[in-house]
Amino acid sequence: MENIDIIQKSIDYIEENLKNELNAEVLAKRAAFSVFYYYRVFQSMTGLPVMQYIQKRKLLHAIYEMEMGRPMFIVEADYGYETHSGFYKAFKKEFGCSPTKYFNLHKPKKPFKINLRQEEYIMITHKKLKEVLKNWDIDEPISIEDIYYSNEERATNCWKINKKFIIKIGKNIEGLTQHINMSRLLVDAGLLASIPIKTKCDLEYYLEEEVYFCLMMPVEGIMMSSREIFNDENCKDKARYIGEIIGQLHNVIKNYDDKLECNYNNLFENLTKWAVPIVKENLEIPVKFYDDYINIFGQVFSKLPKQIIHRDLNPSNMIIKDGKIVGFIDFELTEKNIRIYDPCYAATAILSEIFSEPKNHKKWFEIYKNIILGYDNICNLTKEEKEALPYVVLSNQIICYAYFSQFDKFEELKNINKSMTLWLYENIDCLDIFGAL
């Protein structure tokens, strides 16, 4: 058995026994490793020392149980904290604030399962980050804060440094390079984007054992949230404004088509060969729909305008200041695709964050409609694009469901997207805002 599978078994055992006493000696014995070797292999696979990993998982499960209504003192005892003081100290070390403040600011999510075979996990301690940050000329002492997305998810690959920088880590250097190139072009065009701060060695990022560390100057402002859009009494105007800004972004990017090297994603081929077969097996949609969908969308797909797009326009990647969108972040997924994918993706990303609240469903159709109308004001949709809109929205949902269904960590998102796909299918006529079909 390979080390990755041995450590996976260890991780599964830890997860099942978080409310019992756990120690490295017992875990090493179960793995048939010496304690020293077990420590080394575990940290190389997860990025954290084993006891720190256990502490982290206990705290994540504990705060979720508290969010679900279980009394704090009972949860603390269940996870082995003999006193509130012990829990408080461990919590503050992990989350940077008291439990009370955390609950006032954030809504804890159910911890996802760790599956080392499904993707690479990079867990970095604050101590390690401070060590890496010595490669940049920044003021000390260094402060590190967690970042939370608009859907209350805690970021696992980026942190705020000294309240004015962002450090991002990962292994997809190609995606990082793409982000850097795109961001610099946008800045040259007079727009705001997150660009890297050079290391002391004049490099765009620091590389250690295949993991990159990139310190960036963020776009000044805050991440947009779906709730902010829904709660705005002028939500239609705000949605149209979002569509117009996406259109303006596309017009700027189009001017740099010859300077950017991006992969071309054949959306239709991706759907028919990969995503649709997965969805067919799991969603209660008549088979005839898929045949009609592939036939009709296939007829117009080749005629749809294609260009380089952002590809990940969820609210958290739009930065606002004083009520205006001032910039976009995270261009790692940028690719050449049909251009209407971006506004359609933005609309469904907004829906996914409020889909658990049925009272907002009807209102979303107005938001979707106005995002598209705003985009049309800037980019003048073609006849074929207007016909394709319902199918592009469903294409995005089908792809999201197929992708999330591959990973244990996305169980919640998979279920949300399953429900969304069925709901959009049942309301497909409402997606045809131009009456083109």
User: Do residues 205 and 140 both lie within one domain?
Assistant: yes
- Choose the final residue of a domain: 184, 218, 252: 218
CATH number at residue 132: 3.30.200.20
Tell me, what's the pLDDT at 65? Answer: 93
Question: Rounded mean pLDDT of 243-253?
Answer: 96
In a domain, 112, yes or no: no
User: Do residues 238 and 352 both lie within one domain?
Assistant: yes
User: Do residues 204 and 245 both lie within one domain?
Assistant: no
- pLDDT per position as a tens digit, 9-39: 999 999 999 999 999 999 999 999 999 999 9
User: Contact 214/204 with Cβ under 8 angstroms?
Assistant: yes
Beta strands in 28-103 (DSSP E): none
User: Do residues 148 and 248 both lie within one domain?
Assistant: no
- pLDDT per position as a tens digit, 360-419: 899 999 999 999 999 999 999 999 999 999 999 999 999 999 999 888 778 888 888 999
In a domain, 49, yes or no: yes
In a domain, 40, yes or no: yes
Return the percent helix, strand and coil in the chain, to nearest 5: 55, 10, 30
User: Do residues 423 and 350 both lie within one domain?
Assistant: yes
Domain count, the chain: 3
User: Do residues 195 and 232 both lie within one domain?
Assistant: no
In a domain, 202, yes or no: yes
Cα angle vertex 54, ends 43, 158, to 5°?
Answer: 65
User: Do residues 168 and 296 both lie within one domain?
Assistant: no
User: Do residues 24 and 168 both lie within one domain?
Assistant: no
Which of these ranges, 131-135, 149-153, 234-238, 336-340, has the smallest mean pLDDT?
149-153
In a domain, 238, yes or no: yes
22 dihedral zone (left: phi>0; alpha: psi -120 to 50; beta):
beta
- Stated length of the chain: 437
- Name the burial class of residue 10, with classes exposed (0-12), middle (13-18) and buried (19+) by CB atoms within 10 angstroms of its CB: buried
In a domain, 138, yes or no: yes
In a domain, 133, yes or no: yes
User: Do residues 370 and 227 both lie within one domain?
Assistant: yes
In a domain, 197, yes or no: yes
User: Do residues 302 and 404 both lie within one domain?
Assistant: yes
> Cα separation of 46 and 42, whole Å?
6
CATH number at residue 32: 1.10.10.60
- pLDDT per position as a tens digit, 259-285: 888 889 999 999 999 999 999 888 888
Q: Which residue range is the domain that position 69 belongs to? A: 3-105
User: Do residues 214 and 227 both lie within one domain?
Assistant: no
